[in-house]
Every structure is written in structure tokens, then in C-alpha cells.
Structure 1
Amino acid sequence: MINLRDRIEEVGPELTSSERKVASVVLADYPFAGLQTIQQLAAVTGVSAPSITRFVSKIGCNGYQEFQRRLIGELKESHRSPVELKLTENPAQPGRFLADYAERITSQVHEMASGVSQLQFDAVCDLVGDPSRNIFLIGGRMSDCIAAMLSMHLRQIRGRIFHIPANPELWPDYILRMRKQDVLILLDFRRYQASLTELAQITSVKRHAQIVVITDRWLTPASRYAAHVLAVPTEIGTAWDGQVSALTLAEAMIVKISEQDWNATRKRIEQWDGARLQSAGAHEGIKDNQT
């Protein structure tokens, strides 16, 4: 079933001005804004309760209670563990596990490509490719390996790339470097890390940096502080969510950013390789002298 956030965005053009106010408030703090009572949401939006009822009807809910039940259901989905997912998995066909898994991943990548708009992808690449900006990257327990890969490639394309370490005690050093024009790329998938949401909040409120969040369809709470949210599919019918679509998105960003100013990229790579080879040669020379 399509999640309510996508449905709200889908029916946006059909909403009245009052209903658009409700939609804006719900999307600004999704899904938590929708978990208020209808009276509380009416007070926040300045819209009558009947208008809110018409809004939830337009997005496919039979009343405000069903609207809230679906939001709660999405919250539960966003915290399901592999143990829980195992109960509802779609087992691979006997004797062709690898081929079946590859087909699922292929389908996931195609879904990602159709779900992330070219306009949004280009806007994020333009931000990250701007050499005047510092770029900071961090991921969650499992997704930080993608942040590390992306940061390593970006370092070879341009300078001022910072991969934030996992230890929160070191974060203030990076936060204090952030300026208004800088960018934080944050990856966080279901069973989200509260510390990453806190980092996004501090970065947004105190440093006013732009945040790019790469997440799943249930959206990490950190998304509420993001200028850009890239939601990618993760479900593949097994006990383990797949991150290949997020990895593919990161690799596509690397290629696109590198080609924005290929002359500068080529020069940077040549300098990078030259420095690396010189360092290796110096190290070998020291070893030779010691023997």
C-alpha cells in the first residue's frame, strides 16, 4: 500500500486552500503531526475539523481514526527488525537463491530510478558539486559504509569533504566547522538512530547548513530537518532490507558530480594519484635505507 506521505503529495493539486494548509503541516512533521487529535491539528493549522475530515477522505482514509491508524502502522513498519521481517518474507525459489535475489535487487534499483526525480537528483548533485561548500557525510550503523565510500570518491573529485566519525563525542568538532552554505549528507534507514536525528536538528537549527537525507520510504525522523529527502526502496522480501538502491544512487552521484567540471576533476585525480605515488615511494625508500 502506498504510504500516506506519497498519497498527500500525489493529490496535492486537487486540494483546496484549507486542505493544503493541513497537508503542509502534516508533511512538515510527518508522521507525528498527524498523530495529534483532530482538535489539536485544527488549532495548529487554523482549519476547521470538517475540512480536516475532507482532507483525510481525499487521501483515501475513511475518517480521521483510519488516518491515524495508518500513520501508526507506518511507524511500526519503520522499526521492524530482521526477526520480525522473517515472519513475512517471500522465500526464494528452491535451487536458484542467487538468481532470485539478483532479480529482486534489479527490481529495487529500477524502482529507485523511477522514484527519485531527475530534477531532485540534479539539485542535490549541484549542491554537492559546488566547490565553495564544505560537504559532511555520515550514515547509520549499517549505512555508514555507503557514506564512507561516497566520501572517499568525492575526495578524489574535489576538496573540503569530511566523513564524520561514528563517535558522537567527536561531532562538535565537525558541527563547529559548518557554515550556512555547507551540506550534510545523512543516510539513515529503518530502526533509525536517534543520534542522527539530533545531529540533523543541531546542524539545521544552530548552523543553518543544508541537509540531504537518503532514507527509506518510511522516512527517518531526521528528514524533518532536510532540504532534500531522497527516499529509496529497501524491501526485497527477505529478513534483511537491501541497500543496493542507496549504493547505486551514491555511485550515480559520484559520476554525475565528477562530470560537472571534468577538467577540474581530472586535475584533482592526477594530483591525488601523484601525491599517493610519491608517499608510497618515500615509504619504500625509508625501508630500503633501513635494510
Structure 2
Amino acid sequence: MMIRDRIEKEAENLTLGERKLAAAILSDYPFSGLSPIHELAKHSEVSAPSISRFVTKIGLEGYQEFQRELISELKQGMRSPLDLHAPERKVQGGFLKDFIAKSTSQMAIAADAITEDQFTQICTLLTDPKRRIYVLGGRISDTIAKHLTFHLQLIRKDVYHLPANAESWPDYLLRIRQGDILYLVDFRRYEAMLGQLAKQAAQTRQARIVLMTDKWISPIAKHAHEVMPVPIDSGTLWDTYSAALAVTEAIVTRIAEHNWEKTRARMEAWEALRLKPVDDHT
């Protein structure tokens, strides 16, 4: 179990001081917990013995184990396909059926990781016509971001996909108004530039950051208003985006069907304006 999950599991049993400590740890997770115990004590305004009791309360033997677990989580979040490859991986039945079965299980996990209330809240944000939406993902995860962008553009106006070239991002940042949405997709081997973009958008433009990430949680989370953790670990050298795609399609489908009259009108207008292939015989 991840440290974040351990803390959330014990949330109802924490004292006032422990809740303050938990907030300090989660505010800059996981880096806050990697500092010496006296520095964390000073930052969270609790004593070192209180921190020791806290880590025991969440099921760990001491502060050293607490830090080892956090370091392990960081390493998991930086693993590449070279690290993930498991040549002795067992396959149950045929490879295709085994792979699809694992992908299906990941989708089920995603359904539990994102509550229905959070899902509805995110859909409501993305539906609000007063908010412009700006979307971007990482080197590979941008495929999910583009999928979201394409469907949202069919449904509503003011949806923009940012280009990969960071030199053009200031132009988009200047367009963002207070309350607009920056929707980012960032999976492990997190993109540092996306983190800088999120920080700028949140602090200088007062944008609302919606983050889709994995269970190790992108550093962007510290700037985000909504964080959707989806499972990506397939047990192979490649992370799987099956669950991320399923959640994305659920979002756009829910928005489209919930506002069907507006969606239909826009899609009809879109279809009417599509350029038709030129007939050389006319």
C-alpha cells in the first residue's frame, strides 16, 4: 500500500496534530517526507516523537521505513520500459486473451479509484460554457489528451489542444482567464515541463487544473483542483492506457448525452461545414 493510501485509510483516526502532519506530507507528496525528521517536524509544527507515532499508526515500523517506502514509490514513478520488462512473465492462456484480461481488470480498478461524485464534478466543469478548456499530455500520454480534445470540440466551443512546442505555451497562457480549465495527462516518467505549465497556469492565470495521472501521482497534483488516478501497470514492458482511454470516453459520452440538444446542434453544424472531397468529374 502506498503511503498516501495509508494516510487516507487512517484519516478518521488521526488527532488534530496528526491531521496537520498529514496535510504537510500530502501538500508536497512525496518529497516532503524525504527530508530529515527534524525538518519535517519544523515544517508541520509537530514534534519528532509525534512523527514517529504517526508513521507507526499508519502501519510502518519507523521513519526510516517511511522514507524507504517513499523512495520506492518515486522509483516506480520513473521506471522505463527497459526497467519494466519481465522476460519470465507468466501468461495465462493465449497472450492476447491474457493481455485483454489484464486490461479489463485495470478498467475495473479505475472505476473504483475515481468516485462517481468526482467524475460528475469533472464532467460539470468540462460542460460549463463559461470556461475555456486547454488540453495537453506528455510525450506518449498526449494521445489521450488529443482523444479528449477531438471529442470535446465536437460537443462544445472553446476547446484547445496546446502544441508540443513549449515555446508557444506563453501565447496560450495569456489567453487563459480566471476559472478556465487546463486539463493535463501525465503518467510516470513525468514531464517536468508540464509541471511548470501547471504552476504558471494556476498561479498567474488562476486556471483550474484537472489532472489525469497514475497511482504514483504526477507532481502536477500539487497544483491541481481535481486528480484522477488511473491504473497503467500492465505487467509488461509497456504501460497500458486502456483504463485512461475508457475514463476519457466515459467523460465525453456523459457530457454529450447529458447535454444532448446542444451537442446535436453543434454536431449538425460541424457536419454541415466539413469539407467534402472534390469530385474531379464535375
Give TM-score scaled by structure 1 length.
Answer: 0.94
Aligned residues: 282
C-alpha offsets along residues 170-215 of structure 1, whole Å, 9 cap, x if unaligned?
1111111111110011001111111111111111111110001101
Which residue in the other structure is 1:171 paired with?
169
Which runs of structure 1 show a deviation greater than 3 angstroms over 4 or more consecutive aligned residues? none
Which residue in the other structure is 2:27 paired with?
28
C-alpha offsets along residues 102-151 of structure 1, whole Å, 9 cap, x if unaligned?
10001110111111111111111110111110000000111101111110
Structure 1 position 284, deviation (Å): 2.3
Structure 1 position 288, deviation (Å): 5.5
Structure 1 position 90, deviation (Å): 2.8
- RMSD over aligned Cα atoms: 1.4
Matched, 1:131 2:125: no
Structure 1 position 48, deviation (Å): 1.1
Task: For 1:27-106, list aligned pairs within 5 A.
Answer: 27-87=26-86, 90-93=89-92, 96-106=94-104
Verify the 8 A CA contact 2:173 2:201 in the aligned structure 1: yes
Structure 1 regions of 5+ residues with no counterpart? Answer: none
Task: For 1:184-195, list aligned pairs within 5 A.
Answer: 184-195=182-193
1:8 and 1:260 mapped to 2: Cα distance? 36
Task: Give the aligned residue type for 1:137.
Answer: V
**Counterpart pick for 2:242 among 241, 244, 259:** 244
Verify the 8 A CA contact 2:177 2:207 in the aligned structure 1: yes
1:152 and 1:77 mapped to 2: Cα distance? 31
2:87 and 2:96 mapped to 1: Cα distance? 20
Task: For 1:148-227, list aligned pairs within 5 A.
Answer: 148-227=146-225
Which residue in the other structure is 1:284 paired with?
278
2:191 and 2:88 mapped to 1: Cα distance? 24
**Gap change, CA 1:190 and 1:88, over 3 Å in 2:** farther
Give TM-score scaled by structure 2 length.
Answer: 0.97
1:58 and 1:255 mapped to 2: Cα distance? 42
Structure 2 regions of 5+ residues with no counterpart? Answer: none
